Amino acid sequence: MPVNTRMSGNEAVAHAIKQINPDVMPAFPITPSTEIPQFVASMIANGEVDTEFIPVESEHSSMSAAIGSSAAGARTLTATSSCGLALMWEVLYVAASNRLPIVMAVVNRALSGPININAEHSDSMGARDSGWIQIYAENNQEVYDNFLQSYRIAEHKDVKLPVMICQDGFITSHAVENITLWDDEPIRQFVGEYEPEHYLMKADETMAVGPYAVSNYGMEAKRAQAEAMKNARQVILDVAKEFEELTGRKYGFFEEYELEDADYAIVAIGSVCGTAKDAIDELRRRGVRAGLLKIRVFRPFPDREIAAALKHCRAIAILDRAEGYNGNGGPLGAEVTAALYKAKAKAETVNMIYGLSGRDVRVEDLIKVYGNLEKLASGKIKYDDYPYIGLRK
């Protein structure tokens, strides 16, 4: 039977790893993801899992070892944050282009500089075009559930791409919340055994991994990656449906909260969505038709589905926990705005930056955002630039 308990987001990921029992985990510690390899190492020492843990000298080495392990046919994972993810940059592309189904727990933290250890999406958003699938969580339950689904997505024959399972540093990674854990055996059956068709240690097959791609073939390899990312869309939904049948918890590309009849909507990723839901509840009591579209899957980006869900709104605020330095705001703002433009949506839109370096976002801050959306829709205000929420004067 499912067990109701309390644990942090990092503990939830570690418990999911315990239930999956992957073959190999190379890792290097970096705040706030350090607890994940720490927990796994303790599980190995206690005989709870038989994962091979590889201590390495850097995050670049961690991903390099993960590539070698996965290429050899082992189910592989690692974990990192912030500058650790940045140090992996070169080999992130190698992992994706080699079509290796590695899973990485990313605990989102601001990239330097200035040096900061708190929640921000600049690390994973910086890697958004590296060819990795990216799935984000609002809370501890979701990061556990997302991790349980990750290998089913990554290892699917039509996908074969690495996956980042992302959560907000400290906000969910270290905060303790109520959570439901599923029984070990049904989870093991759901995840299944990893049986790769091609791998380096296969005795009767000769193959190369990561060869030089001459001009005649390199472009086709990139197109094959793009097709795999497209295939991942349906696989993500299929795996989520099967997970719902097992656990009763429903997932998709995104969650709609009071969105069906909303005049004013926020689009956001991660833990801020819980704050937005509280703001919406208060505004609904006042008769304001406010709603939320919470992005779960950022890669592959569900552009058509997002545009369809927002098409009836009068005004939309797209919230980014990362700067894009592009003149129009952050990466989520750019993607959603493009999706709405292609769909010929008529809603007024504004991109807003929030929560950089762990800056708090309160319910009253988001109530004010909805109030400004109402003014934007009626022409009472106009944005010539993208604003920051909670910026000190």
Question: E strand or H helix at 229, and its extent?
Answer: helix 215-247
- Residue 157 reports pLDDT greater than 90: yes
Question: Does the pTM of the predicted model rise above 0.95?
Answer: yes
Q: Are the C-beta atoms of 12 and 144 separated by less than 8 Å?
A: yes
- Residue 231 reports pLDDT greater than 80: yes
Measured over the CA atoms of residue 325, residue 326, residue 331 and residue 332, the dihedral's sign is positive
- Residue 209 reports pLDDT greater than 90: no
Mean pLDDT of the chain: 97
* Rounded Cα distance, 91 and 66, in Å: 10
Q: Which tops the pLDDT comparison, 205 or 246?
A: 246
pLDDT at 211 (0 to 100): 84
Taking residues 206-228, what's their average pLDDT? 92
- One-letter identity of residue 50: D
pLDDT at 113 (0 to 100): 87
| % residues pLDDT > 70 (the chain) | 100
Digit-coded pLDDT (tens) for 7-50: 999 999 999 999 999 999 999 999 999 999 999 999 999 999 99
Band of residue 358 on the pLDDT scale cut at 50, 70, 90:
very high
pLDDT at 292 (0 to 100): 99
The Cα-based distances of 214 to 57, 68, 130, 291 in angstroms read 32, 22, 20, 50
- Residue 110 reports pLDDT greater than 80: yes
Band of residue 393 on the pLDDT scale cut at 50, 70, 90:
confident
pLDDT at 208 (0 to 100): 86
pLDDT at 43 (0 to 100): 98
pLDDT at 73 (0 to 100): 97
pLDDT at 207 (0 to 100): 86
Q: How far is CA 215 from the centre of its chain?
A: 33
| % residues pLDDT > 90 (the chain) | 95
Band of residue 1 on the pLDDT scale cut at 50, 70, 90:
confident
Going from the N-terminus, what domains does the chain have, and what CATH number goes with each? 3-247 (3.40.50.970), 254-377 (3.40.50.920)
Collect all residues with Cβ–Cβ distance below 8 Å to 343 and sequence separation of at least 6.
304, 307, 308, 311
- Residue 86 reports pLDDT greater than 90: yes
The lowest-confidence range among 1-5, 15-19, 192-196 is: 1-5
Q: Are the C-beta atoms of 390 and 359 separated by less than 8 Å?
A: yes
The lowest-confidence range among 95-104, 196-205, 314-323 is: 196-205
pLDDT at 322 (0 to 100): 98
